[in-house]
Chains A and B, each alone.
Chain A
Amino acid sequence: MFKELNPLLHSQLRLAVMSILMNVEEADFTYIKNATNSTAGNLSVQIDKLSSAGYIEVTKKFDGRKPKTTCRMTQEGQDAFAAYVEALKPYLKI
């Protein structure tokens, strides 16, 4: 039985962001940008989408004079990610 894959996660960059945050406690914007080889503009849009869905929590603060954006996964995000991986299994015959 094939379940529909969560469209919010079934996209290259958003899935990459979620996979990173699933594996760490928190990561800042620059780290995610480098790890995903994405552009700042595109990443910012995708992070906003994930944040609006309640999957990640975004904290903006100042580190000295430099602004620092930190992202961490919420419980809702973890559940959504786990459900996405479960739904993925039948497609790959795992």
Chain B
Amino acid sequence: MTERAPPVVSMDAITKTFPGVKALDQVRLDLYAGQVTALVGENGAGKSTTVKILTGIYQPDGGTIRIDGAPIKFANANAAGAAGITAIHQETVLFDELSVAENIFIGHAPRTRLGLIDTAEMHRAAVRLLDSIGAPFDPRTRLRDLGIANKHLVAIARALSVDARVVIMDEPTAALSHKEIAELYELVETLKAQGKAILFISHKFDEIFHIADRYAVFRDGAFVGAGMIADIDEDALVKMMVGRTVDHIFPERQPNVAEDVLQVVGYAHPTEFADINFTLKRGEILGFYGLVGAGRSEFMQSLFGITKPSKGVCKINGQIKVIRSPADAVANGIVYVPEDRGKQGAVIGLPIFQNITLPSLGRTSRSGFLQLAEEFKLARDYAERLDLRAASLDQDVGNLSGGNQQKVVIAKWLATQPQVIILDEPTKGIDIGSKAAVHDFMAELAAQGLSVIMVSSEIPEVIGMSDRVIVMRDGRIEAELADDALTPETLVRHAAGITTPAQMEEA
């Protein structure tokens, strides 16, 4: 049996630290020839960091990588490629204006004796590669003329063009339809038959049980367990993935839930989400959980007026309001703290105080004319309430740390005295200290009667902070959970669309 064979690649006691965060702590991972190993873990478990170390993008701080038992170090991505490790990323960088063959061989195209690109040989090699993965198109096709699934095949062909022994697939099915996923499975079987070791990263359990031979579970940057898929069931795998000791104390809260503030009825969008109905009460923290791509941010942005919904109404305090732009949303007391702080949140280049007063200029100015003293007063008030760490209020917001930029964005919105604040991944990428400050502040705001919607992919945060949680999957509300029904297992099940054990027994 192949199981007896030693692993092709073996990572042992790999550690990687980023400023303030231990991304990987003594993890190990073995990949075997002709087998698919599924790497399972929540967001932030260290999967992406592992991929980046295997492909030479990051260098580990400690531990060893062995190929066929021999220790090896990758100085850069080329070194990993030369060692036969290749990755198909979620969003591989491809070039729309180049042909399929040029995309496959960019950087390592076959050359003629004169050093020019040997187009004929390149096309022959491309045809061979495309045939081997069952891709039915001409290598001369311009990439932009292909659909998303075929682009993916090009990315795969490109990964295989370096004569790989180890193929890493990072959420390869995230953007594919059912039919395309079935084709991808066939391709994985082909690669297995060719004896390649495959690392398969996915959040979808049905996929993992369908395609993988082995599994490895990471949690919070640490190795939890590994074994054969045949020896484990979904339940046990979910438990390994989320079962944790709570190491962060969330603030105690007394939900003083009162009247409805926001009602959303039948919100739909042509491609991103459909049939969204829920109500939000005064002083409530409503969590939104789901996998990446479940449509949470897209829905929140349409509630905030960035994208227009195709259907649906939004009622604030019982009155129907039409929100066509963020300006309308702010005027109606709905504000949004985006996930992408640098681009959508802070206006980098403007000083801190101008960032904070930007949506409140109507109040700090007099008939359209700025009043700097008023602006400084308002900005100082909220900056100090949020314990902002800054040298001065006229400092460029771009010079602040991520956590402090987030505080400026939150201060900006609180200064508008909103009724509903939507926080999209409010603590993503910020240090533990700032995280706790943001959590405390959210609890305080809710206690003061502000209604909070929190989009988060961090299970402890969702459970620790929310009064109720709405789980979204594929653009729809999958479940609404509260009290005893709100557990890590139920969240993961609904987000991944796994049937409950009870239903499985009935079947």
Q: Tell whether A and B belong to one assembly.
A: no
Which residues in A have some Cβ–Cβ distance to B below 8 Å? none
Residues of B within 8 A of A (CB): none
